[in-house]
Every structure is written in C-alpha cells, then in structure tokens.
Amino acid sequence: MADSAIIPVFDEIYEATYGKALAYVTRKCGNAEDIADILQEIYAEVFIVLTRKGPDYLLNSEAFVLRVAKMKIYRHYSLAEKLKATVPMFIRNRDGEEVNVTDLERTEPSIEDQWINHLLIEDVARMITSKPSEVQKAFYLFYYLEMTIPQIASELAIKESTAKSRIYRTLKEIRLRYGRDGDT
C-alpha cells in the first residue's frame, strides 16, 4: 500500500507535468492510439519510483517525467509494430447505402486486400505525419483521445477556431485524397 505522503506529491507532480507530458508524447508518438496508454505507463512508473525512493527523491519532477516519457516511447515502439493508423473506410452496398467496412461480417480478407489496406493505412499515416506538428497534435487529440475542440484549444494554447480549422482541413484533405467511400 502506498505511503499516504506519496499520494499528494504524486498528485502535485501529475498536475504540474501532465500538459507537457501530453504534448511530448503526442509529438513523439508514431500512432496516436498509443498516446493514452503511454501516458498511463509514464505516470505508473513515476508513482512506483516515488513509492520505492520516497517523495524527496525527485529534484526536478518535470525533467524526470519527460525522461520517463522518452524511455516509455522508445520501449513501446521498439516492441510494437511500425506506425499504423486507423482510418474509417466506407463502401457502398448494392442499395447504394454507405456501409462502414468494420460493421460488415468478418471474413478472412484476401492477401491482396490486406496489402491494399496496409498501403492505404501507411499512406494516410504518412500524410498526417507530414503535416506541421501543430496540425498533427490537434488531429490526434481530437480523433484519438476524443478531446473536444475547447479542450484541444486549451491544451495547445490556441484559439478554438484555429483548433477546429486544423482538424477539419486535415480531414477534408484525407477525404479528397482517398475518397470518403473508396471511389478514388
């Protein structure tokens, strides 16, 4: 059981460093779906260190958290597959209705389909990562961490209209380039 003196110290470190840790992880992550998991791992490690070494162990909590973040990102991606991003893919059924491919009955896709999907995912991921980091951050925070526009604006210290335009311009470009329903 954790020492009662550690919890307030941990809470203080968490509050003081979360914004910078989130920004760092968002910037460095190859896959936005991993951001929440990596942040959880970072703060679990910080808590473990505080429990083992005591509340006075950390002289510079921000530097320590960012060092742990760097280590966790490195470990995560050295073990994980290369960048993969999830892109909702729609097709038209025989009645002309849009159907999300993930809603269809699962069947074993052909090797050709698997390869095409792999290439599409890699291409979309490359397109997103080629964007300026400010655009990437807003896009990832909105679609992968499911943050609201006001939360993103606050987190990135930008206007809500700026956050909104970064997100929706990127989405529009993806739709134009790849076609919303697979028609391109």
Q: Are 26 and 141 a contacting pair, CB within 8 Å?
A: yes
Of how many residues is the chain composed? 184
Reported as type and span, the H/E element at residue 45 is helix 35-53
Residue with tokens 């961490």: 145
Bridge pairing between strands 90-92 and 98-100: antiparallel
What is the C-alpha to C-alpha distance for residues 14 and 61, in angstroms, rounded to an integer? 9
pLDDT tens for residues 119-157? 777 777 888 888 998 898 888 888 778 889 999 999 899
- pTM of model > 0.75: no
Reported as type and span, the H/E element at residue 98 is strand 98-100
Rg of the chain taking only CA atoms, in angstroms: 20
What is the C-alpha to C-alpha distance for residues 86 and 170, in angstroms, rounded to an integer? 15
Tell me what pLDDT residue 145 has. Answer: 80
Ordered domains of the chain (ranges, CATH): 6-79 (1.10.1740), 90-178 (1.10.10.10)
Report the share of the chain in percent with pLDDT over 70.
Answer: 73
